[in-house]
């Protein structure tokens, strides 16, 4: 089984320029671990002290928010496309 992970520009600086990654992870915790092994610098930014995905990282499976698919318990399927998108806030009122 293989899934494709698309990484936004904000994360590419932690992956030596890699924007797309293949993974054999079957769920979100497995993917977070896999990315941390492949790209330790990225792992430090996306994982908290307990090794879980930081809450400001949004995850989409085939353009669907993983929170509406069961969250961490959702099982990826062969060929799924996963996007990790950091929340961005700022500006002035």
Within a domain: 93: no
Whether 88 shows a pLDDT value over 80: the answer reads no
CATH number at residue 37: 3.10.20.30
Within a domain: 28: yes
Within a domain: 91: no
Average pLDDT value for residue range 8-15: 94
Within a domain: 11: yes
Within a domain: 92: no
- In the chain, the number of structural domains is 1
DSSP labels for 37-77?
A: HH-HHHHHHHB-TTSPBPTTEEEEETTEEGGGTTGGGPPP-
User: What is the structure's pLDDT at 11?
Assistant: 93
Within a domain: 77: yes
Containing structural domain, residue 22: 3-86
pLDDT in tens, 19-69: 999 999 999 999 999 999 999 999 999 999 998 899 999 999 999 999 999
Whether 84 shows a pLDDT value over 80: the answer reads yes
């Amino acid at each position: 089984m293989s899934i494709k992970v698309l990484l936004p520009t904000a994360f590419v600086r932690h992956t030596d320029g890699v924007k797309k990654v293949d993974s054999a992870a079957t769920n979100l915790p497995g993917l977070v671990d896999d990315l941390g092994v492949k790209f330790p610098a990225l792992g430090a930014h996306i994982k908290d002290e307990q090794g879980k995905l930081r809450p400001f990282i949004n995850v989409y499976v085939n353009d669907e928010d993983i929170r509406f698919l069961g969250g961490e318990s959702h099982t990826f399927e062969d060929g799924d496309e996963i996007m990790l998108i950091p929340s961005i806030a700022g500006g002035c009122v």
